[in-house]
Structure 1
Amino acid sequence: MAKEKRGKKTAVSRQGKKSGLPPGTPVYVGEQKRDAVKIDVLCYSGEHFEELQNVLVEDCLRMRKSGETLWININGVHDVQLIQNIANGFGLHPLTTEDITNTGQRPKAEEFDSYIFLALKMLSYDETLRTIRHEHVSIVFGSGYVLSFQEYEGDVFDPVRNQIRTKKGRIRNEGMDYLAYAILDSIVDEYFVSIEKMGDRIEEIDDEILSAPDARHMSEIHRMKREIVFLRKAVWPLREVFSGLEKNTSELIGVSTRLFLRDLYDHTIQVIDMVEAYRDIIGGMHDTFLSSTGNRMNEVMKVLTIIGTIFIPLTFIAGIYGMNFEHMPELKWPWGYFCLLGIMAALAGGMLALFKRKKWL
């Protein structure tokens, strides 16, 4: 999580690097990395399949074949020159290149003459840190190809790759539009997994607050509040993105794929509902914490008040007979000490009985 926080601070601080540059100038905005960018390629048709890893940009351009779908996955967008070379090879607009390298880009969809560009966030849940990790993902699909750009190596696309390798489902017989849909669908499916796990954590903290509120719970609530705010920013724009894709009249999206995009839109609405529900729960958890803490304090004060109330008359009696006067009643009486102890015990017992009768205990 610390690494992710450093990345966020770096992204914010590097936004100023774009100041004064012409529109369309690619500038990497994100965590500083020195790892080499890795390019993986899947090329397939109904009968043919080929998979390559760690290929060069020139190899990607040579693999474009008529009648086959080419999926190029780029792990890492910090090498601006490499991204620029890929963009030049596939004829991407400079504004698209700029959005690919800007990891703080808001989710959106844009249609150009020969391709459609999508930007969104990919989520994954870290079981160790119990937090949601995210990274910027850009998808470009045009005639016969799909380009996917992601910040780090490792993703949620393995189910899609397995379908292509094993020829399961309809993906091998469909075009690049269906492949783009399958990639988007795998990202949205992981939204459900990550948010549900976050929901389990929210319910766990909520139960702990009700049973034994602790100061650490307040920091955990604020951390989850920040996460839910980010989730809202990442998910809400997707409703507009997928709705626009479904209604898009571009020839790049087939009629059959539009039906699947409609289903993807429905899934996005469900994700939004989940985020809003957990947002309300987290908002209520803050009040629950304060109420639980206040109730515990009230219980402590009640016990202390009862103890103090019981000892007030006993202290009064002890104070009277502690005065240093020579002529005091019962001062020479042999049973005076035991009588006073009995009176004190009777007072204490009577007050306890009264408190129980009033249901203060």
Structure 2
Amino acid sequence: GILLNSDLSNKLSKQLSRGSNMNADSDADSHASRDSQETEEDVCFPMIPDHVRVKGIDFGEIEEFIQEQREENIVFKQREEYLKRNMVYDSGSSKSFSSTALKYTPKLKKPSIMSTTAADTGRKPGSEGVTFAGNENMSIPPDRFSFFHSESDETIHAPDFPSLVDPGQSVKDLFIKDEGTWWLDCVCPTDAEMKMLAKAFGIHPLTAEDIRMQETREKVELFKSYYFVCFHTFETDNESEDFLEPINVYIVVFRDGVLTFHFSPISHPANVRRRVRQLRDYVNVSSDWLCYALIDDITDGFAPVIQSLEYEADAIEDSVFVARELDFGAMLRRIGESRRKVMTLMRLLSGKADVIKMFAKRCQDEAAASTADIALYLGDIQDHVLTMFQNLLSYEKIFSRSHSNYLAQLQVESFNANNTVTEMLSKVTVLGTILVPLNLITGLFGMNVHVPGQDVGTYGWFFGIVGVLIIFILVSLFAANRYLSSQSKLSNDLDGVTEGRSIRSFGFRKKNNSGASDSRSRKGGRSILSFTSKVNNRYD
């Protein structure tokens, strides 16, 4: 029995040891499979490292965007070439393109169809053919991006962002150089470009939204790594339909560079770049200085228009009282147009003083000497803005006074015209009054009845009647003239009395025949000073 129990215990121990070995092997296999799975995951799905920002710029994001845009451009070019090869200008062609294909069709000018002779084409005389010159007239896209570096003499212009760098060139080499400040100017950025710039430069979503939605309120906002300036300029082409229409300029100022956005072509960036090239040997061209220079150039753009309004105000003020009757409508339109320009410029200048004040305060808070100098420059700009605003207020008063004077002159002219018409009608009335009795007399002699002098063979009665009529006319004219003269003299006397006589000239006291005043009237006319000033005292 003891041997049997020992055999059973040995078997059980062997089985347990075998099970433990199997468990150990399974654990080892599971660990090995887990390690191999992690290795496969690392191989198949590598961890994407985060982009490293260099001086606050994510160049990896920019490189990825440029690569995607270039791939899309290649696809677009292939599609354009395909459409060019299969495009038929004949209107009777049965080929039709889908809306997607037409979306990417290049904008061509109207092809000029030129008929050619057989000698020019090398064809037989019986063959007819035409040639198209549409490929030479393909429209060139405008430059929407401009990159400038303060240490460079050249400015890079490109129709899209990938064209700023050559193939094989790094964006980092474009932005980061030895020293200096970079400046990227963007005209009408798309949503994709705006998202890329916001991610690459760390622009806050509120700033990106203001730029995309074209915020119209002028302001300065401070953020962690930059400050945002919204400033207004206007269309300076006086021949354009959008003359004096506001244009929003958005400036994002970093420590090492500046981003500017606007949705209409303006000349201020080119003026600032020209100024930088002239002054960079004497001035520290920082990002704050670039922002100041752009604001200064926008403010100086108001001066020519305000000066032209000054000349216009002087001309209108001088010509208000010498305008002829035919110039009434033109003068009113001229005054109204000038007042509209003044009010538009006042609306554009109204918020600039506060923006410049906040910008100057931000520059004064910093300890750098260059920003302190910029604060002084900004104070000069603020004074310039206030001076221009005061000038516009004075011009508005001049135009308002000229408008009132001109309307008063129109009323005077209308009153004079009415008086002239009334005078003419009065003369016609007098003439009619004179002629009505004469018509009565001639009418009586024209009746089919027996009248005096009818049987007389001489013209005595006829000339007698005519003489009586003439005498009646002369007497009536003399009486009418005498009456009108007396009325005009009376009106002139009344005008002289109201203008030249004082109220003291009117006599209110009655005088006797000798010219002396009555004692009662003298007593009534005595002053209070003539009474005795001594008062009887009861104690005297």
Match runs of 1:272-287 below 5 Å: 272-287=389-404
Match of 2:349 in 1: 235
Q: Could you tell me how far apart the structure 2 residues matched to 1:146 and 1:289 are?
A: 51
Match of 2:214 in 1: 103
Structure 2 residues without counterparts, runs of 5 or longer = 1-140, 166-170, 446-450, 453-461, 496-540
The 3-state SS of whatever aligns with 2:214 is coil
Higher relative contact order (CA 8 A, sep 6+): 1
RMSD: 3.6
1:112 maps to which of 202, 209, 223 = 223
Match of 1:164 in 2: 276
| TM-score, L = length of structure 2 | 0.52
Q: Could you tell me how far apart the structure 2 residues matched to 1:313 and 1:132 are?
A: 60
Match status 1:261 vs 2:378:
yes
The 3-state SS of whatever aligns with 2:260 is strand
Match runs of 1:25-174 below 5 Å: 38-45=144-151, 48-54=152-158, 56-57=160-161, 59=164, 62=172, 63-65=174-176, 67-77=179-189, 79-128=190-239, 131-167=243-279, 170-171=282-283, 173-174=284-285
The 3-state SS of whatever aligns with 1:333 is helix
Query: Which of the two has higher C-alpha Rg?
Result: 2
Does the Cα contact within 8 Å between 1:123 and 1:194 map onto a contact in 2? no
Q: Compute the displacement of 1:345 (Å).
A: 5.9
| TM-score, L = length of structure 1 | 0.75
Q: Could you tell me how far apart the structure 1 residues matched to 2:211 and 2:475 are?
A: 86
Match status 1:293 vs 2:399:
no
Q: Deviations over 1:328-349 (max 9, x none)?
A: 9x99434234445545665676
Does the Cα contact within 8 Å between 1:76 and 1:153 map onto a contact in 2? no
Distance 1:196 1:358, change over 3 A: same
Q: Could you tell me how far apart the structure 1 residues matched to 2:290 and 2:226 are?
A: 14
Q: Deviations over 1:232-291 (max 9, x none)?
A: 332111111111111222468711111101111111111221232233334445433432
Q: Could you tell me how far apart the structure 1 residues matched to 2:345 and 2:317 are?
A: 20
Does the Cα contact within 8 Å between 2:143 and 2:159 map onto a contact in 1? no
Q: Give aligned-pair identity as a percent.
A: 19
Match of 2:292 in 1: 181
Structure 1 residues without counterparts, runs of 5 or longer = 1-34
Moved more, 221-230 or 232-241: 221-230
Distance 1:129 1:50, change over 3 A: closer
Residue type of the alignment partner of 1:316: T
Match of 1:11 in 2: none
Distance 1:285 1:198, change over 3 A: same
Q: Deviations over 1:295-349 (max 9, x none)?
A: 2211211211221222322221112222244599x99434234445545665676
The 3-state SS of whatever aligns with 1:71 is strand
Distance 1:83 1:189, change over 3 A: same
Q: Compute the displacement of 1:226 (Å).
A: 4.7
Residue type of the alignment partner of 1:132: L
Match of 2:419 in 1: 302
Does the Cα contact within 8 Å between 1:125 and 1:197 map onto a contact in 2? no
Residue type of the alignment partner of 1:238: K
Q: Could you tell me how far apart the structure 1 residues matched to 2:257 and 2:237 are?
A: 32
Q: Compute the displacement of 1:136 (Å).
A: 1.2
State the number of aligned residues. 321
Whose strand proportion is higher, 1 or 2? 1
